[in-house]
Amino acid sequence: MSSDLDAPSAPSYVRLTAGDPLPWLRQRTRELPKCAVDAFAGRYLVICFYASAADARARAALEAMLRNREKFDDVRASFFGISIDPGDETENRVRDHDPGIHFLWDFDRSVSRLCGSVPRGRGRGDTTAVRRFWLIVDPTLHVLEDFPFSDESDAAVFALLDRLSEPAAYGGVEIPAPVLILPNVFEPEFCRHLIGLHDSAGGMETGVVRADSHVIDSGFKRRRDFEISDPALMKEIGDRILRRVAPEIRKLFFMQITRMERYLIGCYAAEHGGHFMPHRDNEAGLTAHRRFAVSVNLNADFEGGVVKFPEYNLKGYKAPPGWAVVFPCAILHAVSRVTKGKRYAFLPFVYDESAVAIREENLRRLGGAALDEKEPAPV
């Protein structure tokens, strides 16, 4: 005699509905060891959890996408196909097409689990039926609508995409980025002094942090940096940050800033194609402790090079010389290509004492390895 206690529990799925934030999705593609879907904020995302291109219904959905290929340009909209079948890769059943068409190899099912295509807590070899559906995401990375696979779902997806406004006009209201614009953090003469230091040294090409190590990727970032090491000058800078930036962070974000990392002058030069693609400054690992980025513009005689926050709007910020743009490190941001001249900026990160413990733990985990040899200075 059996009872309900003997029966296997019904599978439980995440259910994303309109207004829910899209989880941060990270997975491998044919070309990239890790693709961050949230870096595509600022446009509509059409995500297809089709499971396997060996399935006839999945092939029909992908064929519908290809018939609408012109809609995906990585400007207004991007397509992401989510595969959990290794055969899609080994047998070349699907391919990325730039711009706009991207496939994630979700063979460990982590992305599918976060979004509710496979059940919570089920392993890679689980044979429970997969939920196959389309997920439409708005430019702010919030869910607009989902369409479970059906005979009508493919047409409904592309009809909705056709009805949507341009990303810049989404919602009919400007969505402000949660950033501070602070005037006169550095005096004009002080700005010129810092620029002179960079010009005298020439700066060094710097990369990005991936898997807790530095990687040079000029397609993603192109900037030459100079690191200040003079203790007297560092104190002058720290005093200005403490008086003119820290109180505003405390007032609006309820955080007492005590530490500053990187006394760094960066230069985005038109002659080098200076830019920085969309990224976040406190991904897991040795950057997880960072709380706020501070970008103090040092000059105005350049074109391009604006700071953008595509999760919120597509406008760019070009602060006057000496003014600072301050923002939480978790916000997606980018620096557009400098098209004329050079943009100089002072670019530290600041954080509080609770973040010190996070930094120290990550250093212990990596056996003392660090992004820089110096302990971030108190401010």
With a cut of 80, say whether residue 3 has pLDDT above it: no
CA pair distance 267, 275, nearest whole angstrom: 10
Query: What letter represents residue 349's amino acid?
Result: F
Arithmetic mean of pLDDT, 202-213: 79
CA pair distance 41, 282, nearest whole angstrom: 17
HSE-CB of 374 using CA atoms within 13 angstroms: 15
Task: Output phi, psi for 308, to 5 deg.
Answer: -120, 150
Q: Which residues contact 355 (CB under 8 A, 6 or more apart)?
A: 259, 289, 290, 291
CA pair distance 77, 138, nearest whole angstrom: 9
Work out the pLDDT band at 368, boundaries 50, 70, 90. low
Helix, strand, or coil (residue 138) = coil
Please tell me the pTM assigned to this model. 0.88
Contact 84, 51 (CB under 8 A): yes
pLDDT digits (tens, 9 = 90+) for 7-46: 456 789 999 999 999 999 999 999 988 999 999 999 999 9
Q: What is the pLDDT of residue 129?
A: 83
With a cut of 90, say whether residue 185 has pLDDT above it: yes
Domains identified in the chain and CATH numbers? 26-172 (3.40.30.10), 180-378 (2.60.120.620)
More confident residue, 10 or 167: 167
Arithmetic mean of pLDDT, 314-331: 96
Q: What is the pLDDT of residue 122?
A: 62
Q: Could you tell me if residue 273 is left (phi over 0), alpha (psi between -120 and 50 degrees) or otherwise beta? A: left
Residue 250, both tokens: 């405390």
pLDDT digits (tens, 9 = 90+) for 124-145: 555 568 999 999 999 999 999 9
CA pair distance 296, 348, nearest whole angstrom: 9
With a cut of 80, say whether residue 369 has pLDDT above it: no
Q: Could you tell me if residue 270 is left (phi over 0), alpha (psi between -120 and 50 degrees) or otherwise beta? A: alpha
Work out the pLDDT band at 284, boundaries 50, 70, 90. confident
CA angle 62, 64, 69 (to 5 degrees): 90
Q: What is the pLDDT of residue 376?
A: 55
Arithmetic mean of pLDDT, 330-347: 98
